[in-house]
Amino acid sequence: MASVLRGEAPRAAASAPQPRASLLQIPPYVAGRSKVAGIAKVIKLSSNESALGASPKAIEAARAGAEGMFRYPDSSVAELRAALANANGIPAEQIVCGDGSDELLHLLGQAYASPGDEVLYSQHGFVVYPMVAFAAGAVPVQSAERECVVDVDAMLAKVTARTRIVFVANPNSTGSYLPERDIVRLHAGLPPHVLLVLDAAYAEFAEMPDYEPGVRLVNKHPNVVMTRTFSKAYGLAGLRLGWAYCPPAIADVLNRLRAPFNVTLPAQHAGVAALQDTGFLDQVRAHNRRWRPWLEVELKKLGLMPVPSAANFVLTRFPGGAAQADATNAFLTQRGILVRDMKAYGLADCLRITVGLEDELKALLQALAEFLAKK
Ligand SMILES: *Cc1c(COP(=O)(O)O)cnc(C)c1O
């Protein structure tokens, strides 16, 4: 009876436990490097973490939260959701918090994609999207980008009867962004049963007037979710905290599916304090506003080809291709300067550099100038 209910034939006996086969297709995640053997203090510009660290008030709140760590955290994450609702002018009931936004992306995959379904994302989108697809047993499908920018028409052309989820990182993992009108056009071209997930991890840095992170689209449509994170602008990557703004029916599903205590007590406290410390966020954004354009200009002066960025990093192409990008990366590594190798994103001729502190960026530029002059 039980196997009839499961609707699956019993699997053949094996000599060891067997996972669902699709799980073994999940490519191992390669994180930005943080260490170099023999170098005590590195300059880490590889994971788009906050140049200014975390708000001192958030750190203090996490410390205070740690005192209470023998207690379970609030399963409903009420205080933080109320603070997010207040800060963003949206209903708290439609916010679901997660163990980083990665967790929320995975939960959406588990909830809305089934084996055989297709999960669509653009060529240089976040590497977590294919992981989400495989974890759900679904098929990851890529659409081409134009000059590292998401191409709405190419994406719509890849939608089939099996498409269930479309992921768009906006700003993209290349730093480019789509203005609101393009996101609206993408949404308008999707069938109503397809879920559009707008991953706005870098929204706080995207200050162009035609950018909108997704709030307005979620307000209007039952098939759009916006995900956000405290890992980047708020500097809480190590604490693991993200959130999703969802239509009510989707929030209900995520709340059933998620682990009841998926957001730790220190993370909940730090999130509230980080949101309250608007002065700190202003400093973070002002730093980025000043140093991102500087970095872009300096990279161009060296003959490199940076992609215009709306985020807190700059992706740069090397005219000498993958060999030059690799050799440069090796040289920087010897100097203890860590940037992101982009092979996992299909961008072997590029490196990606976080907008760090002034002295970090100047050390990077000096090393780059030295290496490229030798050629
Ligand atoms: C960093 C990043 C995230 C955030 O991941 P967390 O799990 O919240 O740390 C999500 N999407 C993209 C595109 C990112 O670069």
245 in Cβ contact with 228 (< 8 Å): yes
Q: Left (φ > 0), alpha (ψ -120 to 50) or beta: where does 53 sit?
A: left
- 264 CB under 6 A from ligand 1? no
CATH of 25-52+279-373, one of 1.10.1040.50, 3.40.50.170, 3.90.1150.10, 3.60.40.10: 3.90.1150.10
Per-residue pLDDT reduced to its tens digit, 38-86: 898 999 999 999 999 999 999 999 999 999 999 999 999 999 999 999 9
Mean of pLDDT values over 255-275:
98
Asked whether residue 96 carries a pLDDT value surpassing 90, the answer given is yes
Choice between 359 and 33, residue whose per-residue pLDDT is larger:
359
In angstroms, the Cα distances linking 280 to 60, 189, 242, 270, 287 are 14, 39, 19, 13, 11
Mean pLDDT of the chain, nearest integer = 95
- 127 CB under 6 A from ligand 1? no
Cα of 213 vs centre of ligand 1, distance in Å, is 14
Per-residue pLDDT reduced to its tens digit, 293-341: 999 999 999 999 999 999 999 999 999 999 999 999 999 999 999 999 9
Q: Which pLDDT score is estimated for 3?
A: 46
* Minimum-distance ligand 1 atom for the alpha carbon of 240: 9
Tell me, which fold does domain 57-276 have in CATH? Aspartate Aminotransferase; domain 2 (3.40.640)
Give me the sign of the Cα torsion angle 71, 103, 177, 358: positive
141 in Cβ contact with 129 (< 8 Å): no
Per-residue pLDDT reduced to its tens digit, 187-246: 999 999 999 999 999 999 999 999 999 999 999 999 999 999 999 999 999 999 999 999
The tokens for 298 are: 């300096």
The helix/strand/coil state of 205 is helix
pTM over 0.85: yes
Domain residue ranges in the chain: 25-52+279-373, 57-276
Q: Which pLDDT score is estimated for 32?
A: 82
Per-residue pLDDT reduced to its tens digit, 124-179: 999 999 999 999 999 999 999 999 999 999 999 999 999 999 999 999 999 999 99
Cα of 20 vs centre of ligand 1, distance in Å, is 26
- Residue of 168, 232, 239, 314 best suited for mutating to test ligand 1, as the one with most atoms within 8 Å of CB: 232
Cα of 296 vs centre of ligand 1, distance in Å, is 22
Please spell the DSSP secondary structure of 11-59, one letter per residue: PPP-SS----GGGGGSPPP-PPP--BTTBSS-EE-SS---TT-S-HHHH
Task: Supply the residue whose CA is at minimum distance from atom 3 of ligand 1.
Answer: 201
Fold matches, 25-52+279-373 and 57-276: no
Closest by CA to 351, choosing from 310, 307, 293, is: 307
144 in Cβ contact with 151 (< 8 Å): yes
* Minimum-distance ligand 1 atom for the alpha carbon of 237: 9
- Rounded to whole angstroms, the maximal C-alpha distance in the chain is 73
- Residue of 124, 173, 229 best suited for mutating to test ligand 1, as the one with most atoms within 8 Å of CB: 229
Task: Supply the residue whose CA is at minimum distance from atom 12 of ligand 1.
Answer: 201
In angstroms, the Cα distances linking 297 to 22, 186, 293 are 44, 32, 6
Confidence of residue 7 (pLDDT cuts 50, 70, 90): low
